[in-house]
């Protein structure tokens, strides 16, 4: 520390003026404390209100966003999916006379069903038979088939039609 620095130190300390802490200083100080305390309380209250408002808005928007995004998030099923789509109930559970494609057991009585389906050794399904316009002639033709005729050609030829032609030509 040189002479100038010592002189500087002396000047700074000697120029100090006595300043007592008076009552007006004290009142002003506590007024400042009170104002600052209120400002801090207001800031805290404002911050809390802002936080609550933000949370409320967030919670209000969250369920709405979830319900809106549900159909969009769900991907459509592919046209040919590896897993079968949900199907109708089993054929055995449905009514027997409601579904025409159901194969009936062979224990049924011949009078209630077609004769072609009940002939022994044939094993055909009713779907393979063409619809006939005259059930009575069909019943007669199918109940007495020629023994040498193959069963696969009889539905294609139409036994009732051939019988009609023969009867018309003969008569």
Partner 1 sequence: MSLCLRCKGLFGHGAVGMERFRVDGFDEFVAARWSALLHVARLLTGGDRQRAEDLVQEALVKLWFVWPRVAEQAPEAYVRQVLVRMAARSARRRWWGERPVGELPDRAGPGDVSSAVAERSRLEAALALLPPRQRAAVVLRYCEDLPEGQVAQALGCPVGTARSHASRGVARLRQILSDTVRPVG
Which chain residues interact with partner 1 by CB under 8 A? 4-5, 8-9, 11-21, 25-30, 32-34, 36-37, 40-41
DSSP 93: G
Q: Which is nearer to partner 1, 8 or 49 (CB)?
A: 8
CB of 33: closest distance to partner 1 in angstroms? 5
Nearest approach, Cβ of residue 36 and partner 1 (Å): 5
Number of Cα atoms under 13 Å in the Cβ half of residue 161 = 9
C-alpha 95/C-alpha 97 separation (Å) is 6
Beta carbon nearer to partner 1, 18 or 84: 18
CB of 30 to partner 1, least distance (A): 4
Work out how close the CB of 44 gets to partner 1 at its nearest, in angstroms, rounded to a whole number. 12
CA angle 107, 111, 112 (to 5 degrees): 75
CA of residue 66 relative to chain centroid, distance:
14
- Quickly tell me which residue has 């044939």 as its tokens: 122
CA 134, CA 161: separation in Å to the nearest integer? 10
Q: Identify which of residues 9 and 103 has a Cβ nearer to partner 1 in the complex.
A: 9
Question: For partner 1, which is the closer residue by CB, 38 or 68?
Answer: 38
| Nearest distance in Å: CB 52, partner 1 | 22
Q: How far is CA 96 from the centre of its chain?
A: 34
Considering the complex, state which of residue 9 and residue 94 has its C-beta at the smaller distance from partner 1: 9
Structure tokens at 148: 């040498």
């Amino acid at each position: 520390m040189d002479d100038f620095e010592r002189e500087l130190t002396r000047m700074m300390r000697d120029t100090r003026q006595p300043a007592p802490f008076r009552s007006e200083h004290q009142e002003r100080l506590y007024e400042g404390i009170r104002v600052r305390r209120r400002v801090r309380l207001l800031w805290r209250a404002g911050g809390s209100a802002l936080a609550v408002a933000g949370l409320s808005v967030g919670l209000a928007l969250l369920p709405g966003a979830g319900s809106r995004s549900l159909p969009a998030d769900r991907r459509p099923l592919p046209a040919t999916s590896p897993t079968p789509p949900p199907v109708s109930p089993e054929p055995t559970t449905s009514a027997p006379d409601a579904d025409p494609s159901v194969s009936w057991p062979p224990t049924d009585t011949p009078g209630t069903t077609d004769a072609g389906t009940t002939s022994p050794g044939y094993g055909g399904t009713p779907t393979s038979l063409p619809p006939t316009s005259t059930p009575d002639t069909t019943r007669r033709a199918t109940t007495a088939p020629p023994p040498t005729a193959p069963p696969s050609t009889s539905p294609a030829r139409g036994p009732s039609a051939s019988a009609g032609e023969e009867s018309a030509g003969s008569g």
